[in-house]
Amino acid sequence: MTLHFIGEVREPDSAEICALVAGLEGTRLTAQVEGIAGFPSALRARAVAARLEVPERVYAWRRMLVDLWPVAEQPDQSRKAFLPHVTFGRSKRGVRLQGQDLAGIRLELDAPAAYRSETLPEGARYTRLDSGAV
Protein backbone atom coordinates (compact mmCIF):
# COMPACT_ATOMS: atom_id res chain seq x y z
CA MET A 1 0.00 0.00 0.00
CA THR A 2 1.44 3.36 -1.01
CA LEU A 3 1.02 6.09 1.60
CA HIS A 4 2.63 8.87 -0.43
CA PHE A 5 4.16 8.70 -3.90
CA ILE A 6 6.93 11.27 -4.07
CA GLY A 7 8.13 10.80 -7.62
CA GLU A 8 11.68 11.29 -8.81
CA VAL A 9 14.05 12.14 -5.96
CA ARG A 10 17.66 13.26 -5.93
CA GLU A 11 19.92 10.65 -4.31
CA PRO A 12 20.94 12.91 -1.37
CA ASP A 13 17.26 13.28 -0.43
CA SER A 14 16.63 9.53 -0.08
CA ALA A 15 18.23 9.40 3.40
CA GLU A 16 15.96 12.24 4.55
CA ILE A 17 12.91 10.45 3.21
CA CYS A 18 13.91 7.21 4.95
CA ALA A 19 14.34 9.11 8.22
CA LEU A 20 10.86 10.66 7.84
CA VAL A 21 9.31 7.24 7.29
CA ALA A 22 11.27 5.70 10.18
CA GLY A 23 9.90 8.51 12.36
CA LEU A 24 6.36 7.25 11.83
CA GLU A 25 7.04 4.62 14.50
CA GLY A 26 4.75 2.23 12.76
CA THR A 27 4.10 -1.39 13.47
CA ARG A 28 2.44 -4.10 11.45
CA LEU A 29 -1.26 -3.55 11.08
CA THR A 30 -4.32 -5.41 9.97
CA ALA A 31 -6.43 -4.10 7.09
CA GLN A 32 -9.70 -5.47 5.78
CA VAL A 33 -10.64 -5.57 2.12
CA GLU A 34 -13.78 -3.52 1.42
CA GLY A 35 -14.03 -4.39 -2.24
CA ILE A 36 -12.39 -4.09 -5.65
CA ALA A 37 -11.34 -0.83 -7.29
CA GLY A 38 -10.40 -0.22 -10.91
CA PHE A 39 -8.20 2.66 -11.99
CA PRO A 40 -8.91 4.90 -13.79
CA SER A 41 -12.44 3.38 -13.66
CA ALA A 42 -14.21 0.05 -13.16
CA LEU A 43 -15.30 0.13 -16.81
CA ARG A 44 -11.77 0.25 -18.18
CA ALA A 45 -9.44 -0.67 -15.35
CA ARG A 46 -5.75 -0.59 -16.19
CA ALA A 47 -4.97 -1.30 -12.55
CA VAL A 48 -7.07 -3.58 -10.35
CA ALA A 49 -6.79 -3.16 -6.60
CA ALA A 50 -8.28 -4.23 -3.31
CA ARG A 51 -9.76 -1.21 -1.46
CA LEU A 52 -8.78 -1.37 2.19
CA GLU A 53 -10.32 -0.36 5.48
CA VAL A 54 -7.34 0.70 7.59
CA PRO A 55 -6.81 2.10 11.10
CA GLU A 56 -6.95 5.90 11.48
CA ARG A 57 -3.18 6.05 12.08
CA VAL A 58 -2.65 5.26 8.37
CA TYR A 59 -4.43 8.51 7.45
CA ALA A 60 -2.32 10.37 10.01
CA TRP A 61 0.86 8.91 8.49
CA ARG A 62 -0.30 10.02 5.04
CA ARG A 63 -1.01 13.58 6.21
CA MET A 64 2.38 13.79 7.91
CA LEU A 65 4.25 12.60 4.81
CA VAL A 66 2.38 14.95 2.49
CA ASP A 67 3.05 17.87 4.85
CA LEU A 68 6.74 17.03 5.34
CA TRP A 69 7.53 16.05 1.75
CA PRO A 70 5.14 17.81 -0.65
CA VAL A 71 5.44 17.07 -4.34
CA ALA A 72 5.96 20.25 -6.39
CA GLU A 73 4.56 18.67 -9.57
CA GLN A 74 1.32 17.78 -7.75
CA PRO A 75 0.33 20.86 -5.72
CA ASP A 76 -3.19 19.54 -5.07
CA GLN A 77 -1.97 16.26 -3.57
CA SER A 78 -2.81 17.25 0.01
CA ARG A 79 -6.43 17.80 -1.07
CA LYS A 80 -6.58 14.69 -3.24
CA ALA A 81 -8.63 11.88 -1.73
CA PHE A 82 -6.48 9.11 -0.31
CA LEU A 83 -7.84 5.66 -1.15
CA PRO A 84 -5.95 2.96 0.77
CA HIS A 85 -5.51 0.04 -1.60
CA VAL A 86 -3.22 -2.77 -2.71
CA THR A 87 -2.78 -3.15 -6.47
CA PHE A 88 -2.79 -6.79 -7.55
CA GLY A 89 -3.16 -6.62 -11.31
CA ARG A 90 -2.52 -4.42 -14.36
CA SER A 91 -3.82 -4.47 -17.92
CA LYS A 92 -2.51 -2.53 -20.92
CA ARG A 93 -5.90 -2.56 -22.64
CA GLY A 94 -8.07 -2.17 -19.57
CA VAL A 95 -10.60 -4.63 -18.19
CA ARG A 96 -14.23 -4.26 -17.12
CA LEU A 97 -14.82 -5.05 -13.45
CA GLN A 98 -18.21 -6.46 -12.63
CA GLY A 99 -19.37 -8.56 -9.74
CA GLN A 100 -15.97 -9.25 -8.24
CA ASP A 101 -16.02 -9.27 -4.45
CA LEU A 102 -13.19 -9.84 -2.03
CA ALA A 103 -14.86 -8.01 0.86
CA GLY A 104 -14.00 -9.30 4.31
CA ILE A 105 -10.53 -10.65 3.54
CA ARG A 106 -8.04 -9.53 6.18
CA LEU A 107 -4.48 -8.55 5.27
CA GLU A 108 -1.44 -8.15 7.51
CA LEU A 109 0.63 -5.17 6.36
CA ASP A 110 4.22 -4.46 7.35
CA ALA A 111 5.24 -1.29 9.16
CA PRO A 112 5.83 1.77 6.92
CA ALA A 113 9.03 1.78 4.89
CA ALA A 114 10.47 3.79 2.02
CA TYR A 115 10.86 2.09 -1.37
CA ARG A 116 12.55 2.93 -4.64
CA SER A 117 10.41 2.11 -7.66
CA GLU A 118 12.01 1.37 -11.02
CA THR A 119 10.03 0.86 -14.20
CA LEU A 120 11.58 -1.95 -16.26
CA PRO A 121 10.48 -3.66 -19.48
CA GLU A 122 9.43 -6.73 -17.46
CA GLY A 123 7.49 -4.63 -14.93
CA ALA A 124 8.09 -2.52 -11.87
CA ARG A 125 10.80 -3.39 -9.36
CA TYR A 126 10.53 -2.15 -5.79
CA THR A 127 13.56 -2.00 -3.50
CA ARG A 128 13.17 -1.28 0.19
CA LEU A 129 15.42 1.53 1.40
CA ASP A 130 16.93 1.60 4.87
CA SER A 131 17.51 4.84 6.77
CA GLY A 132 21.20 4.63 5.87
CA ALA A 133 20.57 3.83 2.19
CA VAL A 134 21.35 6.29 -0.56
Q: What is the pLDDT of residues 82-99, one digit of tens each?
A: 899 998 888 889 988 887
Question: Which pLDDT tens digit goes with each residue over 49-69?
Answer: 999 999 999 999 998 888 888
Q: Give the pLDDT band (50/70/90) at residue 133.
A: very low
Predicted local confidence at residue 72, as pLDDT = 60
C-alpha to C-alpha distances, 121 to 7, 91, 92, 134, nearest whole angstrom? 19, 14, 13, 24
Please state the pTM of the whole predicted model.
0.78
